[in-house]
Amino acid sequence: MTIEIMPPLMFGGLVLFMIIGFPVAFSLMAVGLFFALIAIEYGFFGTSFLQAIPQRIFGSVISNDLLLAIPFFTFMGAILEKCGLAEDMLDSMGQLFGRVKGGLGYSVILVGFVLGAVTGTVAAQVIAMAMIALPVMMRYRYNMRYATGVLAASGTITQIVPPSLVLIIMADQMKTPTASTDVGSMYLGAWIPAITQSALFMLYTFFLTRIKPDWLPGIPPEEITLKGKALVIRCLQGILPTAVLIFLVLGTIMFGVATPTESGAMGAVGAVVLAVMRNPAFTGSDKLVLRAGLMAAGIGLILAILVTDRNSTLGHGIKLALAVLYMALVWVLIRAAQITELRNWITDAYKTTMRITSMVIFILIGSTCFSVVFQGVDGGKWVEHLFSSLPGGWVGFLIIVNLAIFFLAFFLDFFEIAFILIPLLAPVAQKILTPVLLAQFGGNEQAASAAALVWFGITLAVNIQTSFMHPPFGFALFYLRGVAPKEVKSNDIYWGAIPWVIIQLAMAFVVMFNPSMTTAFLDKGAHMVQQGGELNFNMETNKPSSGSSGSEMNFQLDNSSGSGEKKPESTSTPASSNEMKFDFNGNSQATPEAKPAEPPKPASNEFNFQLDKPAGQ
């Protein structure tokens, strides 16, 4: 047996385990360890190589701070699923758009986008919106296939709307030996595709109102109960708390104020506070406590902007304001534990969080075991050779990879695809896609490499949405089937999903051939550099000193390096050579006289540092 056939055999073994129906996490571990024994037997690597498996598990999984964001965002989504936020938003948006044809469809798409920015999970969103909106759409005789399709599609858009769990895991897995991306960059790259996809959904709805107006009727005017000021207030009641929560979660990440884990923790606390505020058991005195805390937070924010001396009286006022806010939040959380309904919600949310987090970690441990052995038998080279030799260059690479991901999504869910395939494809994607972005990033290869990973990751995220939608295994369709009334046929659910899957695939191709959609908000980095200034650090310890002992360091900046100009021979004028001289003497009796000129000496302890300056300077 040769090492060249080991990578394809490992993939074949993994597929066999999955066909049998063995759990994915343990399939990955079993295949990895089984082929590790074969590799040791044939001498492809030694037993000491297996030490990398526990080291990677503890270093990349157990000690990975980024993965802590997963339970926080999962808990936040589980709480918001039950607190009635989706119901209020759908009701107000339905009143706002209900008169026009397709108004309920527009409302579902908009609410799905906004909820995607606060829940981050498909299950919570599809279930919540289907339970609320589907009976209303049935009452007004919406076409059943359109109604089920728009609900499932609007729920799955949360996959690419920050703070999606998909984007967090993509950021964690998109790493190569020479480049990586982060959660903030993935979030910035996802905004334009997410908004564009929502616009495509609304455009499809508008198109149907023109060719099939009876499929999407408007709500009769006499059934519009809210108008004018009352309607505005109703809309703001759902939008304002959501906007605050979105800022806490996303704004803090994008402005660099908090890490994804810290923003997830704030989002989890904010979701509980929001649920308590919306509960009827939240009394007037409780509201006074919360308002006092919010006012203190506002005062503290103003003082933090205006006051620079944190030790002054006003500086201590900032600490006092934060203490008041902290106490108000503690009181609200205590009230959440005291209210029976909320306590049950929190308990259920903890259970959901534990199940999802455990699943993710076990799959990640299994994929680590598989990938270490796979790399040990030169699997990375095999994958790179397989995809680098595809016809069509980077276009052929993206098309083949996305088609493969699309068909694999029939049988695998996102987590399995992310943890098995993405670590193998990321180095190849960086190598093939980086040259495409070099011009856009001013020739900065490092920035272009990171942007290439973001582009590749967002393309796959848009594509992987379809794994929740296409029949017969789409989880969003299962969620919808579970909460839909008996009058809704499974046939309508499956057929209704197909147009939306086509739109999602079209969006994947749009992102594929328009990388600027994902890189527009990314940091372009420094421009391409050229060799420009040379900084010489010369430490001489053997020069004779007049009356003092010590050492001298010369720092010389030569601006003419590589410019074709001849350096001045004389060093008597500091301006001509940009020389900075620092003399460190062992005693304080340094003579003020200049040192006599010395003949050239061999350099001692000399270090040369080449500085690059931006092109054109």
Rounded to an integer, what distance in angstroms lies between the CA atom of residue 24 and that of residue 363?
Answer: 7
Rounded to an integer, what distance in angstroms lies between the CA atom of residue 229 and that of residue 568?
Answer: 79
Rounded to an integer, what distance in angstroms lies between the CA atom of residue 130 and that of residue 137?
Answer: 10
Encode pLDDT of 243-270 as tens digits: 788 777 877 777 777 888 888 888 888 8
Rounded to an integer, what distance in angstroms lies between the CA atom of residue 533 and that of residue 557?
Answer: 7
- Cβ-Cβ contacts under 8 Å for 235 (sequence gap 6 or more): 92, 93, 96
Mean pLDDT of the chain: 78
Question: What pLDDT, on a 0 to 100 scale, did the predictor assign at position 488?
Answer: 84
pLDDT over threshold 70, residue 585: no
- Cβ-Cβ contacts under 8 Å for 26 (sequence gap 6 or more): 366
Contact 176, 453 (CB under 8 A): yes
pLDDT band at 318 (very low <50, low <70, confident <90, very high): confident
% of the chain surpassing 70 pLDDT: 83
DSSP H helical segments within 212-312, as ranges?
228-246, 252-254, 260-277, 284-306
pLDDT band at 205 (very low <50, low <70, confident <90, very high): very high
Tokens of 556: 């010389």
Encode pLDDT of 90-125 as tens digits: 777 777 776 788 888 888 888 888 877 776 667 767
pLDDT over threshold 60, residue 434: yes
Rounded to an integer, what distance in angstroms lies between the CA atom of residue 600 and that of residue 512?
Answer: 61
Angle between helices 490-513 and 475-483 (to 10 degrees): 150
pTM of the predicted structure, to 2 decimals:
0.72
pLDDT over threshold 60, residue 49: yes
Helix (H) or strand (E) holding 584: strand 579-585
Angle between helices 6-20 and 379-388 (to 10 degrees): 90
Encode pLDDT of 498-553 as tens digits: 899 999 999 999 999 999 999 888 877 644 443 344 444 444 444 444 444 444 44
Count Cβ neighbours within 10 Å for each residue of 327-353 and write b for 16 or more, e otherwise.
Answer: ebbebbbebbeebeebeebbeebeebb
pLDDT band at 312 (very low <50, low <70, confident <90, very high): confident
Q: Which amino acid is at 235?
A: C
The CB density around residue 562, as the number of other CB atoms within 10 Å, is 13
Tokens of 607: 């270090």
Angle between helices 475-483 and 122-139 (to 10 degrees): 50
- Mean pLDDT value of segment 135-139: 82
The CB density around residue 465, as the number of other CB atoms within 10 Å, is 29
Strand partners, 556: 536, 579
Contact 145, 215 (CB under 8 A): no
